[in-house]
């Protein structure tokens, strides 16, 4: 096979965008040129790499393998370029980070201070639910991942870097918000509003409640902390959320932390990436930056 590095980058752009025209724009070439190059790649490999259905590109199994290989090659090359730049005293390149949705309450500030220190570095921040972050990890799309419940079926480099306490919240007008030392069993008649199944917060909550043999009376499951806070403020029930979603406050936007015995639930934020992945110089520097900045920003 005779495939150039630029052709690999074009195929990777195709895999990421699902469109020949979008891949062409990403690579700054015309669509006819991109189509011709992609055809050459398929001919060189000798098997079908993708098919177009309703104007949408779908990779074949071999196409997905080629995309994974291309991604690894491109990331290795980018790390080499960053290493060369660091020897020259330069700091430029790209940092890719994927985080679960609750991390949006602190990650932008950490990334902002990093960009201020290194203005030549481009940062891509993906904010998704846990399943989305895990899927990106499986596909090796980013430099690192921030979550509270890393998957156990992957070989990961896993580092705890910050506490993620989970607290009970109620509407500020609720009598619960004014009580001290509330026992968990006394919440049996309350209606709970929790995060969706599969989220890191929900996994931590379920583990704790099961351990304490408490079955919550669930009114609804919602996909964001903001939605839970609005529902709780509206008097629909009580919730359990990360304290970070309250911006470190005891009260916020019509909700307040309830003093429940045994809470907050102890949880942690993790920085993870595949164990086989060698972090780029920029990713390594960002990891160090987070450690230094956390005491000031979180």
What is the average per-residue pLDDT within 188-199?
Answer: 94
Please, which residues have CB within 8 angstroms of residue 257's CB and are 6 or more apart in sequence?
167, 168, 169, 243, 246, 250, 251
Residue closest to 120 by CA, chosen among 75, 81, 149, 154: 81
Q: Which fold has domain 91-162+269-297?
A: D-Maltodextrin-Binding Protein; domain 2 (3.40.190)
In this prediction, residue 298 carries a pLDDT of: 46
Residue closest to 48 by CA, chosen among 56, 19, 39: 39
What is the average per-residue pLDDT within 66-88?
Answer: 83
53 DSSP β-pair partners: 56
In this prediction, residue 296 carries a pLDDT of: 61
Q: What is the pLDDT of residues 89-125, one digit of tens each?
A: 657 788 999 999 999 999 999 999 999 999 989 999 9
In this prediction, residue 156 carries a pLDDT of: 94
User: In which element (H, E) is residue 228 found?
Assistant: helix 225-233
Residue 78 burial by CB count (10 A; 0-12/13-18/19+): exposed, middle or buried? Answer: middle
Please, which residues have CB within 8 angstroms of residue 244's CB and are 6 or more apart in sequence?
102, 103, 105, 106, 164, 298
- Whether 133 has a pLDDT exceeding 70, the answer reads yes
DSSP structural state of residue 142: S
Percent of the chain beyond pLDDT 90? Answer: 68
Number of CB atoms found within 10 A of residue 271's CB: 22
pLDDT band with cut points at 50, 70 and 90 for residue 10: very high
In this prediction, residue 90 carries a pLDDT of: 59
HEC string of 51-113 equals EEECCEEEECHHHHHHHHHHHHHHHHHHHHHHHHHHHCCCCCEEEEEEEEHHHHHCHHHHHHH
The span from the CA of 174 to the CA of 233, in Å, is: 9
CATH 3.40.190.10 domain extents, the chain? 91-162+269-297, 166-266
What is the average per-residue pLDDT within 61-86?
Answer: 86
CATH 1.10.10.10 domain extents, the chain? 5-65
- Whether 253 has a pLDDT exceeding 50, the answer reads yes
For Cα atoms 216, 220, 225, give the angle at the middle one, nearest 5 degrees: 100
Per CATH, the number for 5-65 is: 1.10.10.10
Q: What is the pTM of this model?
A: 0.73
In this prediction, residue 79 carries a pLDDT of: 82
In this prediction, residue 87 carries a pLDDT of: 65
Task: Say which range, 123-137, 147-161, 245-259, has the weakest mean pLDDT.
Answer: 245-259
What's the whole-number average pLDDT of the chain? 90
pLDDT band with cut points at 50, 70 and 90 for residue 252: confident
In this prediction, residue 280 carries a pLDDT of: 86
Q: Which fold has domain 166-266?
A: D-Maltodextrin-Binding Protein; domain 2 (3.40.190)
Task: Say which range, 122-136, 182-196, 244-258, has the weakest mean pLDDT.
Answer: 244-258
The span from the CA of 27 to the CA of 93, in Å, is: 17
In this prediction, residue 134 carries a pLDDT of: 95
The span from the CA of 280 to the CA of 94, in Å, is: 10
The span from the CA of 98 to the CA of 167, in Å, is: 24
241 DSSP β-pair partners: 167
The span from the CA of 268 to the CA of 34, in Å, is: 45
Task: For 246-263, give the DSSP string.
Answer: GTT-SEETTEEE--BTT-
């Amino acid at each position: 096979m005779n495939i150039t590095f630029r052709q690999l980058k074009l195929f990777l752009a195709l895999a990421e965008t699902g469109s020949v025209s979008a891949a062409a724009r990403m690579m700054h070439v015309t669509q006819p040129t991109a189509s011709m190059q992609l055809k050459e790649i398929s001919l060189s490999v000798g098997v079908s790499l993708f098919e177009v259905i309703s104007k949408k590109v779908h990779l074949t199994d071999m196409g997905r393998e080629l995309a994974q290989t291309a991604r690894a090659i491109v990331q290795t090359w980018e790390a080499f370029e960053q290493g060369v730049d660091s020897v020259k005293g330069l700091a430029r390149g790209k940092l890719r980070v994927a985080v679960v949705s609750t991390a949006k309450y602190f990650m932008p500030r950490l990334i902002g201070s990093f960009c201020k220190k290194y203005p030549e570095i481009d940062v891509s921040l993906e904010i998704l639910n846990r399943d989305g972050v895990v899927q990106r990890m499986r596909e090796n799309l980013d430099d690192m991942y921030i979550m509270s419940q890393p998957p156990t079926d992957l070989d990961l480099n896993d580092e705890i870097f910050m506490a993620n306490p989970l607290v009970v919240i109620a509407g500020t007008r609720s009598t619960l918000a004014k009580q001290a030392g509330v026992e968990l069993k006394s919440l049996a008649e309350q209606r709970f509003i929790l995060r969706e199944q599969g989220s890191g917060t929900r996994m931590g909550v379920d583990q704790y409640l099961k351990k304490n043999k408490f079955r919550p009376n669930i009114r609804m499951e919602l996909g964001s902390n903001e939605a839970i806070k609005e529902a709780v403020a509206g008097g629909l029930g009580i919730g359990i959320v990360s304290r970070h979603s309250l911006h470190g406050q005891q009260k916020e936007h019509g909700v307040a932390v309830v003093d429940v015995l045994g809470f907050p639930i102890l949880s942690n934020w993790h920085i993870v990436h595949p164990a086989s992945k060698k972090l780029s110089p920029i990713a390594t520097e960002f990891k160090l930056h987070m450690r230094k900045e956390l005491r000031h920003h979180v």
